[in-house]
Amino acid sequence: QVQLVESGGGLVQAGGSLRLSCAASGRTFRRLAIGWFRQAPGKGREFVLVVNWSGSTSYADSVKGRFTISRDNAQNTVYLQMNSLKPEDTAVYYCAAKSLVGGTEPDEYDNWGRGTQVTVSS
């Protein structure tokens, strides 16, 4: 079992930046894939990006060139750097974990954090 805690959300103007953190405890962090998903009001949970155990990454087209994911295995933490934010990025952001390699479907992931709200004003 993995416990995940997100932090770093908030209110920012369009064009601004935020950095989210996902701190993990429990299972061996190094062997985990950590994905970020988001959910806007009235919509389903949407894949944003993932960093696999090897450090390889995959991004949704909507965030390519604006968002960057990185992991610090010594700190058991994954970071989501969000730049050039748009109002359509407004959502609750969740991190999720699974073994080794993560895909784009929420059902693949075994463990979830409680989420952190990101609001981008126009």
Mean of the per-residue pLDDT values of the chain:
96
- Confidence at 66, pLDDT banded by 50, 70, 90: very high
For residues 20 and 115, is the Cβ–Cβ distance under 8 A?
no
Among residues 69, 80, 73, 70, which one has the least CA distance to residue 29?
Answer: 73
- Confidence at 64, pLDDT banded by 50, 70, 90: very high
| pLDDT at residue number 26 | 74
Count of other CB atoms within 10 angstroms of residue 29: 21
H or E, element range at 10: strand 10-13
Reply yes or no on whether the pLDDT at 49 is more than 90. yes
3-class secondary-structure state, position 67: strand
- Confidence at 28, pLDDT banded by 50, 70, 90: confident
